[in-house]
Amino acid sequence: MRFVQSFIFRGLACALQAIVLAVAPAAPSAAAPAFQPPQDQGAMPSRLAATSPILALARAGSRIVGVGLRGHIVISDDGGRQWTQAASPVSSDLLAVSFPTARLGWAVGHGGVVLHSADGGATWTCQLDGREASALAIRHYQAQLDAGNNVGQFLKREQSLAVDGTQPFLDVYFDSATSGYVVGTFNRLFRTQDGGKTWTPWMERSDNPDELHFYAIRGGAHGLYLAGEQGMVWRLDAASQRFVAMRTPYKGTLFGVVSTGPGGLLVFGMRGSLLRTEDEGKTWQTLSTGTPAGITSGAVLQDGAIVLVNQAGGIDLSRDNGKSFTTYKSARPMSYFGVAALGGNQIALAGSEGVRLESVK
């Protein structure tokens, strides 16, 4: 659940230096080093990685894994007290992470990168990037068009996105060791059923004719949901294998989804917006949060309590299945971008100053 465009303030500085070889007066200067895109170079090691902006968290068994700016990946094996930086094959900003098992995990971000770990986040490889995703989608939709299927609009969109091949993936969700999804801008939606070895474009499987951005994908025992721009939510229809639109009363951008049980859902986003449904989106209740700050992430605690965090350093807690929330006062607030339940009342918080722990009661 990634508030990407509003909380990432990072410009790409690329100063190319000319190196002059003083061998002889007539000797030419060496060429400046060629620019390497962030998705082609690994993240720099930094002793400050765990206190720099971390944008998302996930549990990998007892381990906590965080991802953030400049390709930083950090792991903790002691409940978040100490952190180690893991080597990352990219220096692109990483926006989301998902671990369906203690060992298998995926992270996504800018440049359309999809990273995979098979050892609980200790090491990572790049399974896909934006250039490969564009080429894959173009081949897929060209073959579909040649077979007589009405997918011309999807082929044209992918051809336009392939110009720079850097469209980000904004979220990732795996429901098993092999089955997962990555989502992003302009209706981008890819599915894998072999643990990321191959990916299938699913853009034609969503009721999203305006090509709105998908900011979040989350699932569980009660369904699989997307959330995005213009107050839109989509639910995967198991029979048709299609994401069906569920319009909410809100017209702004939604950043996240928390399932509250059969037919129950909380969605949240810009300006403290929070909505609740108990009937799979047929009707919605708008809840007051008392904050104008964007709600960026949510988690369900071990006892069923729901925690939401926001950009202004607010933490809201519900113990009645999302019907009402109370504000928890943090001793050291920061802009929060992600939250993970650790067990009991413990939560890990990802934000502008790294990762912190809180105990909410």
Measured in degrees and rounded to the nearest 5, phi and psi for residue 151 equal -125, 20
Q: Please report, as a single letter, which amino acid is at residue 94.
A: L
- Residue-wise pLDDT for 177-209, tens only, equals 999 999 999 999 999 999 999 999 999 999 999
Q: How confident is the model at residue 14 (pLDDT cuts 50, 70, 90)?
A: very low
pLDDT band at 166 (very low <50, low <70, confident <90, very high): confident
Report the largest interatomic distance among the alpha carbons of the chain, rounded to a whole angstrom: 80
From 283, 358, 335, 341, select the one nearest 53 (Cα to Cα). 335
With cut-offs at 50, 70 and 90, classify the pLDDT of residue 221: confident
Q: Chain-centre distance of CA 121, in angstroms?
A: 16
- Mean pLDDT (whole number) for 53-64: 98
Looking at residue 234, its pLDDT comes to 97
What is the DSSP code string of 243-281? EEEEE-S--S-EEEEEEEETTEEEEEEGGG-EEEESSTT
pTM: 0.90
Q: What percent of the chain has pLDDT over 70?
A: 91
3-state secondary structure of 290: coil
pLDDT for residue 16: 23
Residue predicted with more confidence, 274 or 30: 274
Once rounded to an integer, what is the mean pLDDT over residues 254-267?
94
Residues 37, 43, 45, 50: what is their CA dihedral angle, to the nearest 10 degrees? 130
pLDDT tens across 261-286, in order? 888 999 999 999 999 999 989 999 99
The percentage of the chain sitting over the pLDDT mark of 90, rounded to a whole number, equals: 83
Q: Residues near 148 by Cβ (< 8 Å), separated by ≥ 6?
A: none
Cβ atoms of 6 and 294 within 8 Å: the answer is: yes
132 and 189 in contact (C-beta within 8 Å)? no
Query: 242 vs 46, 189, 245, 251, 254, CA distance in Å?
Result: 43, 11, 10, 23, 20
Phi first, then psi: what are they for 240, rounded to 5°?
Answer: -90, -10
- Can you give the pLDDT at residue 48? 95
- In eight-state DSSP terms, residue 84 is E
pLDDT of residue 31: 60
Residues 256, 216 contacting (CB under 8 angstroms): yes
